[in-house]
């Protein structure tokens, strides 16, 4: 876990590594790392990868409206196709209460 936290404080951020770290940490104790996720999103607001991780973790922890809000926030950074994909994915996950984090 220490290496993952170190990866999250790297500058410049290695987006893929940070996303994997957040998934790893968030699956274990989401609330303990929620502030880390928010800090990364504030530091890198255009990072679609971090936003995707945030949305998945929110849905898996019953914070559906946060995931929907994040999707609205990043809509300008997404292609129409990618936006529709995430809108559908979030709806499906919420309807099924089933989250598959890869």
- The secondary structure of 32-90 as a DSSP string is HHHHHHHHHHHH-TT-HHHHHHHHHHHHHTT-HHHHHHHHHHHGGGS-HHHHHHHHHHH
Taking only the tens place, the pLDDT of each residue in 59-97 is 877 888 999 999 999 999 999 999 999 899 888 887 876
- Exposed / middle / buried, residue 83 (Cβ in 10 Å: 0-12, 13-18, 19+): middle
Taking only the tens place, the pLDDT of each residue in 8-67 is 555 556 666 667 766 676 666 777 678 778 888 888 898 898 898 888 888 877 888 999
CA distance 1 to 3: 5
pTM, two decimal places: 0.70
With beta carbons less than 8 A apart as the criterion, state whether 67 and 59 touch. yes
Give the helix/strand (H/E) hosting 24. Answer: helix 15-43
């Amino acid at each position: 876990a220490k290496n993952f936290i170190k990866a999250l404080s790297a500058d410049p951020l290695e987006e893929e590594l940070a996303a994997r770290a957040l998934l790893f940490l968030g699956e274990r104790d989401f609330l303990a790392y929620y502030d880390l996720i928010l800090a990364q999103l504030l530091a890198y607001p255009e990072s679609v990868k971090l936003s995707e991780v945030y949305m998945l973790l929110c849905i898996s922890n019953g914070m559906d409206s946060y995931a929907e809000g994040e999707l609205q926030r990043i809509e300008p950074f997404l292609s129409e196709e990618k936006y529709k994909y995430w809108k559908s994915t979030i709806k499906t996950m919420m309807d099924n209460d089933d989250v598959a984090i890869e």
